[in-house]
Amino acid sequence: LIALSAEQVGAAQATLDLTVEYTKNRKQFGRVIGSFQALKHRMADMYALVETARSMSYAAALSQDPQDAYAAKIYCSEAFQQVASEAVQLHGGIAITWEHDAQLFFKRAHGTAQLFGQPREYLLAVSA
């Protein structure tokens, strides 16, 4: 679970980097879309999710405690899915085509969330 959470953090970071780069280059209404405040706020939220997930993953790796591993599995799975979903939204229609890598991250996020059990299955273990 700890290794999976670390992989999810890395993939979420790559997804965020891909999205930021895209918004720096894509123009709409005569402006780069990354200059729109609404998109900046969404990317800032994505950044906060990635950094918090990174902290959860590091904490689980350092402690080697099963409770921390469960918490990392839950949080990192949810964070990666949210970041990937936001990336698809920020990329627009291109993100769900075979030609763009955003769809790969989206599928990976949902696939890894199910690996070793769904996040909700670990909630009882963490709350005990």
Per residue in 40-85, pLDDT (tens digit) is 999 999 999 999 999 999 999 999 999 999 999 999 999 999 999 9
Q: With a threshold of 0.85, does the pTM exceed it?
A: yes
pLDDT in tens, 84-121: 999 999 888 777 777 888 889 999 999 999 999 887 78
Q: How many domains does the chain contain in total?
A: 1
Quote the domain boundaries for residue 29.
2-127
13 in Cβ contact with 40 (< 8 Å): no
State the alpha helices, DSSP H only, in the chain.
2-25, 37-63, 66-91, 102-114, 119-127
Q: How far apart are CA 58 and CA 5, in angstroms?
A: 9
CATH code at 9? 1.20.140.10
